[in-house]
Amino acid sequence: MELPVVDLSRYLQSSNSESDPQLGTDLLDSCREVSRILKETGALLVKDPRCSAEDNDRFIDMMETYFSKPDEFKRLQERPNLHYQVGVTPEGVEVPRSLVDEEMQEKFKTMPNECKPHIPKGPDHKWRYMWRVGPRPSNTRFKELNSEPVIPEGFPEWKEVMDSWGCKMISAVEVVAEMAAIGFGLPKDAFTSLMKQGPHLLAPTGSDLSCYNEEGTIFAGYHYDLNFLTIHGRSRFPGLYIWLRNGEKVAVKVPVGCLLIQTGKQIEWLTAGECIAGMHEVVVTSKTKDAIKLAKEQNRSLWRVSSTLFAHIASDAELKPLGHFAESSLASKYPAIPAGEYVEQELSVINLKGKKSSS
C-alpha cells in the first residue's frame, strides 16, 4: 500500500478560518481527508514547501558526522539524570515498549505471520540525540521535561541547524494539526493551542550499519510514540515499518521532499480513540542491505540517521477528549491528566535500571 501524499501549499496560502463561510469546499475536503487518513492509517505523507529536501540533507549530513564520533566523545552529552530527555541516549539504553508490555506480547500471538513485528530481545541498537525545539514555559511542574539543550563541542553550526530544521518540522505539524482539527469538526486551534510551549523534541536516531547490518536486526523495536504527532524527514536507508489500524504491516517509502507524520498517544487521548497511536518498528531489511552496498560504493556514511521530531502537548496542559469526543462511548478510557504527568508515567514503564527512555 502506498500512503497518500497531502500537499500543504494550498492550505498555507489560505488565511481563512474554519468558520469563514468562504473557506472553499476543496480545502474543507482536504482537511477531512487529513483527519480520515490519520484515523484509518495513523500515518500521513505531506509536502510542505517550507521544508525542502536540501534542509533535510543538511541536517542528516551534520548528524552523520556527529554519530560517527567516538563513543567517549558522544557520552559527554549524556544526561541520564534528566531521563535522557536532552542530549544523547547511547545505544543499548532505549527499550522498546513491546519488550516490557505484556499486553503487546499477548497480541503478537494472535497476529498473522505476515503482519507480525520482529520480536525485541533487548534494548535498541541505536543512538539518539534529544534537542528541544521552541520556547519553554517560565513556570512548569515538569522541569525535567523542559530542560536546557546540550550542545556538543566542535559543531559551531549545531544550534542553527537543529533549530532551523526543528522549527520547520514543527510548523508542518501545526498545519496538519489545524487541518485535522477542522476535519474532525473541532475549532481550528483545538490542538495547536495545547501545543504552545510544549516540550517538542527533535530526536534524530543514529544506527551504525557498519556494525549492525544483518537482515532482521532491530534498530527500533515495535512501539508507539507517547507524544502528540511524530514527524520524520526522509532517511537515506530504508527499514521503517508501520501498522495500519486494520493490522496491516506496511513498509514506508518517503518520497524525496516529503515528510512522514504518525499519530502518537496524546492525539489518541484528545480524540477518545478516534485516532489510535500508530505502531512501528525500524529493522534491517534486504532493501537496507542494498542501500548499504550502494553507500559503500559511493564512499558515503554508513550511519542510518532518522530526522525524527516528537511534537508534544504542553506539559502543564490537560489531556482529555476534546469537544464532541468527550461524548464518545470510549471517553471514559481517557480520563483527564496533565500531559507532563502522562509522559512521566509512560517513561517509567519503559524504565531500564533506573534509566528512562524517550518516546
Domains of the chain, start order: 5-350 (2.60.120.330)
- Evaluate if residue 354 carries a pLDDT over 70: no
Average pLDDT over residues 77-84: 86
Where do we find the cell 510551549?
A: 197
Mean pLDDT is lowest, of 84-93, 203-212, 295-304, 349-358, for: 349-358
- Measured CA distances, 268 to 113, 211, 252, 340 (Å): 27, 37, 22, 16
Q: Are 193 and 141 in contact (CB under 8 A)?
A: no
- Evaluate if residue 100 carries a pLDDT over 90: no
CA–CA gap between residue 24 and residue 21 (Å, rounded): 8
Quick one: pLDDT at residue 341?
93
- Evaluate if residue 173 carries a pLDDT over 60: yes
Q: Are 285 and 238 in contact (CB under 8 A)?
A: yes
Quick one: pLDDT at residue 187?
96
Average pLDDT over residues 287-316: 96
Quick one: pLDDT at residue 26?
86
Quick one: pLDDT at residue 145?
58
Average pLDDT over residues 142-157: 82
In this prediction, residue 146 has a pLDDT band, given cuts at 50, 70 and 90, of low
Quick one: pLDDT at residue 206?
97
Average pLDDT over residues 253-273: 95
- At 34-74, the pLDDT tens digits run 999 999 999 999 999 999 999 999 999 999 999 999 999 99
pTM of the model as a whole = 0.91
Average pLDDT over residues 162-172: 96
- Evaluate if residue 260 carries a pLDDT over 70: yes
- At 311-338, the pLDDT tens digits run 999 999 999 999 999 999 999 999 999 9
Q: What's the chain's average pLDDT?
A: 90
In this prediction, residue 144 has a pLDDT band, given cuts at 50, 70 and 90, of low
Quick one: pLDDT at residue 137?
80
Quick one: pLDDT at residue 350?
59
Quick one: pLDDT at residue 353?
33
3-state secondary structure the chain: CCCCEEECHHHHHCCCCCCCCCCCHHHHHHHHHHHHHHHHHCEEEEECCCCCHHHHHHHHHHHHHHHCCCHHHHHHHECHHHCCCCEEECCCCCCCHHHHCHHHHHHHHHCCHHHCCCCCCCCCCCEEEEEECCCCCCCCCCHHHHCCCCCCCCCCCHHHHHHHHHHHHHHHHHHHHHHHHHHCCCCCCCCHHHHCCCCCEECCEEEECCCCCCCCCEEEEEECCCCCEEEECCCCCCCEEEECCCCCEEECCCCCCCEEEEECHHHHHHCCCCCCCCEEEEECCHHHHHHHHHHHHCCCCCEEEECEEEECCCCCCEECCCHHHHHCCCHHHCCCEEHHHHHHHHHHHCCECCECCCC
- Evaluate if residue 20 carries a pLDDT over 60: no
Average pLDDT over residues 103-116: 90
Quick one: pLDDT at residue 149?
83
Q: Which percentage of the chain shows pLDDT scores above 90? A: 73
Q: Are 96 and 104 in contact (CB under 8 A)?
A: no
